[in-house]
A and B are shown apart, each in its own frame.
Chain A
């Protein structure tokens, strides 16, 4: 009997506006399914942000173009014995290994580009702002600041594409020696700035 009530309770909680995050999400408010290092048990994630998905178009287009390069080369330099460019040095076996390796490199290029986008995350909780930077595979940086140390928030949205797809940069200025935070090319920058301002307002309201 109690199980029925538990299930109902869970369903009710999800109805409040929480959503399961998907791998391609770049803007989520009040979602489930994400955990970050040093997250406190009662620390609720309010915003989960990545760069707008449209920023992935350059590497996606490059990857698609690279897929067709060998096909174009074989069309331009047709061979009868399967060797590369008809040169005797590049045997059919070598050509096979080369092409498999080429496509493996293209796959890796696309994958690394994807995870670079995927792991550049900006999180706002009810207590803190967390900026996770990941670039060039060998560098990652995690910066945190408490919401009560945030002094100023502003955003910029410059350019036709950014206006069209509604994304821009959000800057968070913190007190003292703490580094300033930047969320680059995130969707709905005005809404993000508004939500963070509201959170700071709530914090100040609760302060003694």
Chain B
């Protein structure tokens, strides 16, 4: 059975590779943002400052939300 090279050539198209790399990088960033959030939660148990605890948690969650939205947008439009 002859090997269908059209699928392989499509995979190795520069556009496909670029999209894959972009999605993987954003996904890695998403994991990093989640780690930041867990560390903040962990530190919040060690020391708590009433005036800023909420703001710091909010910003870390905002970063996760933007990263996740960006991943979805990149998946759709690229």
Binary flags per residue of B23-51, CB closer than 8 Å to A gives 1, else 0: 00110010011011001101101111111
Bound CA span A132–B36, Å? 17
Interface pair A33/B50, CB less than 8 Å apart: yes
Size of the chain A interface, CB-CB below 8 angstroms? 35
A134 within 8 A of B: yes
Interface pair A89/B42, CB less than 8 Å apart: no
User: Which of A36, A37, A137, A142 is close to B35, meaning CB atoms less than 8 Å apart?
Assistant: A137
Q: What's the minimum C-beta distance from B64 to chain A, rounded to whole angstroms?
A: 10
User: Which of B15, B33, B50, B70 is close to A108, meaning CB atoms less than 8 Å apart?
Assistant: B33
Q: List 23 A-B contacts (CB under 8 A).
A: A20-B51, A21-B49, A23-B51, A23-B55, A33-B49, A37-B46, A37-B47, A89-B18, A94-B78, A97-B70, A97-B73, A100-B66, A104-B29, A104-B63, A104-B67, A111-B60, A119-B43, A132-B46, A132-B47, A134-B39, A134-B43, A138-B35, A142-B46
> What are the residues of chain A within 8 A of B74 when measuring CB–CB?
97
Interface pair A105/B55, CB less than 8 Å apart: no
> What are the residues of chain A within 8 A of B3 when measuring CB–CB?
none
Which of A21, A101, A112, A140 has the most chain B CB within a 10 Å cutoff?
A101
Q: What's the minimum C-beta distance from B55 to chain A, rounded to whole angstroms?
A: 7
User: Which of B26, B52, B73 is close to A23, meaning CB atoms less than 8 Å apart?
Assistant: B52
Bound CA span A140–B42, Å? 9
Interface class of chain A by DSSP: mixed
Binary flags per residue of A67-99, CB closer than 8 Å to B gives 1, else 0: 000000000000000000000011001101110
A107 within 8 A of B: yes
> What are the residues of chain B within 8 A of A10 when measuring CB–CB?
none
> What are the residues of chain A within 8 A of B2 when measuring CB–CB?
none
B5 within 8 A of A: no
> What are the residues of chain A within 8 A of B15 when measuring CB–CB?
89
Bound CA span A94–B70, Å? 11
Binary flags per residue of A126-138, CB closer than 8 Å to B gives 1, else 0: 0000001010011
Interface pair A33/B51, CB less than 8 Å apart: yes
B11 within 8 A of A: no
